[in-house]
Amino acid sequence: MKTIVKLYTRNGCHLCEKAKAILLKLKERYDFHYIEADIDKSDELTEKYGMMIPVVEINGEEVQFGQIDELLVEQVLRENNSSYLS
């Protein structure tokens, strides 16, 4: 099964843009399906993640929120047996 990485975000979020850049950089090295979810399009997501974004979720598990650490996310990707591209 292919690893799924989901980024919970919203427009105008500076930390979200940084998180997206980190995930797209990691996507160059790891084979995973990338999904973005705008929390402002769902009352449920806004209530759940409103003050936490960005939130990175890998295979349904919240990995990190707020300041996203590339090394931590990469470690979780390795643990989830993503195919390494390089």
What are the pLDDT digits (tens) for 49-68? 999 999 999 999 999 999 99
Residues 6+ apart with CB under 8 A from 41: none
Calculate the CA 75 to chain-centre distance: 13
Name the pTM for this structure. 0.90
**Mean pLDDT across the stretch 8-32?**
96
Task: Provide the percentage of residues in the chain whose pLDDT is more than 90.
Answer: 87
Q: Are 59 and 68 in contact (CB under 8 A)?
A: no
Output the pLDDT for position 85: 55
What are the Cα distances from residue 32, in Å, to 14, 23, 51? Answer: 24, 10, 27
Spatial separation of the C-alpha atoms in residues 81 and 31, rounded to whole Å: 10
pLDDT at residue 84 above 70? no
Structure tokens at 37: 């979810």
